[in-house]
Amino acid sequence: MTDRKSIVFNGDLGSGKSTVSVEIAERLGLRRVSVGDLYRQMAQERQMTALQLNLHAELDQAVDGYVDQLQRDIAASGESLVMDSRLAWHFFTDALKVHMITEPGEAARRALLRPSGPAESYTSLEEAKAKLRERSDSERNRFIVRYGVDKARLRNYDLVCDSTRATIAEVIAHIVDAYEGRLGADVLRDNPPLLLLDPARVYPTEDVAGLRDLWDSRFVGEVAAGGDGALEPLRIGYTGEYFFVVDGHRRLSAALQNGFHLVPALLVAEVDEPVVGGMSAVDYFAAQARPGLIHDWEAAHSITLPLPEHALLAAGDAVLAGEPGTVA
């Protein structure tokens, strides 16, 4: 059993953190506090949308001040609980800090399907996607200015969980296993965060044709028998938008072949941190994740990976140059 007292959740809008935190609180028999519910109530009382209240809070510190003091008081109380809050990780020291992520289009779809109210409503998928991004950017900027912390930095957290394709039951089971010490204990203790990523959203950095034993049926079968929790963590880089393999293509391929929705991973480098030879995660990804390499990985595993901007530019240059294999 873990010696952590509380679990605090934050993450992308539409990532399912409210649903997950409710069910985990029930499973563990802990009280749940939602700062999001409090903000929505405050927005309704002021006849504002959630985005408008966020923008208002950038000018009026009393809005954040009230909520911040509430979180400080709860953290100081020593009560074991589940906290759903975008900033609780900054106030709680001995909690399991969980950050939930999801693909922006999927987050927008979920937001659009939610019952709307006076605080937030959307008329289209594109509007939902744009407003969620604007609201998240507003919060991020406010936290940087007011607290000097960046909520987008993954190293702020103990556990990062991608809910894009994983079911609620899968997400809850993995988080509870991590909380109770059955999953990723070494990573959580020595080198957090533990990443639980959707393998269909992780980019390759090596040519699939050059990877040995990628289709070793015995290995793929062993991975299937062990399940995703038994998989040795991949070594992953993160650009601030995209996750990519530094080491572990064979394990990632086996996870895709077995239809896993989540794989464990260790964060090697984030944004400007060096991967190899002083090359940052952003620069390494731009150099290694070429359009043809991404396309071949997609074709081999029947998945779709949106081309990053650098790859789109490279593909466009190749078309203009009339290189073989491109479509003019």
Which domains are delineated in the chain?
7-161 (3.40.50.300), 198-321 (3.90.1530.30)
Query: Quick one: pLDDT at residue 328?
Result: 30
234 neighbors 248 (Cβ within 8 angstroms): yes
233 preceded by a cis bond (ω within 30 of 0): no
Q: SS3 letters for 36-96?
A: HHHHHHHHHHCCCCHHHHHHHHHHCHHHHHHHHHHHHHHHHHCCCEEEECCCHHHHCCCCE
What average pLDDT does the segment 203-211 reach? 92
- The reported pLDDT for the residue numbered 252 is 97
> What pLDDT does residue 218 have?
94
Q: What is the pLDDT of residue 227?
A: 95
In the predicted structure, residue 177 carries a pLDDT above the cut 80: yes
Q: Residue 72: count other Cβ atoms within 10 Å of its Cβ.
A: 13
Write b or e for each residue in 1-33: b if 16 or more Cβ atoms lie within 10 A of its Cβ, otherwise e.
eeebbbbbbbbbbbbbbbebbebbbeeeebebb
Weakest-pLDDT range from 19-33, 63-77, 155-169: 63-77
Res. 214 pLDDT band, cuts 50 70 90: confident
Cα angle 294, 299, 305; round to 5: 45
pLDDT score, position 274: 97
Look up tokens 């700062």; give the residue.
35
3-state secondary structure of 307: coil
The single residue listed with the structure tokens 């028999």 is: 29
Instruction: Read off the DSSP letter of residue 210.
Output: G
**Whether the Cβ atoms of residue 317 and residue 311 lie closer than 8 Å to each other:** no
Mean pLDDT of the chain: 88
Mean pLDDT of 209-223: 89
Task: List pLDDT tens digits, range 72-125.
Answer: 888 888 899 999 998 899 999 889 999 999 999 999 998 888 765 544 678 888
Q: What is the 3-state secondary structure (H, E, C) of 232-277?
A: CCEEEEECCCCEEEEECHHHHHHHHHCCCCCEEEEEEEECCCEEEC
Looking at mean pLDDT, say which of 8-17, 51-60, 247-256 comes out highest: 247-256
Query: Which tokens in the block code for residue 209?
Result: 């044709």
Task: Band the pLDDT of 327: cuts 50, 70, 90.
Answer: very low
Contact 117, 44 (CB under 8 A): yes
**Stated pTM of the model:** 0.88
More confident residue, 315 or 93: 93
Yes or no: say if 77 and 93 are a contact pair by the CB < 8 Å rule. no
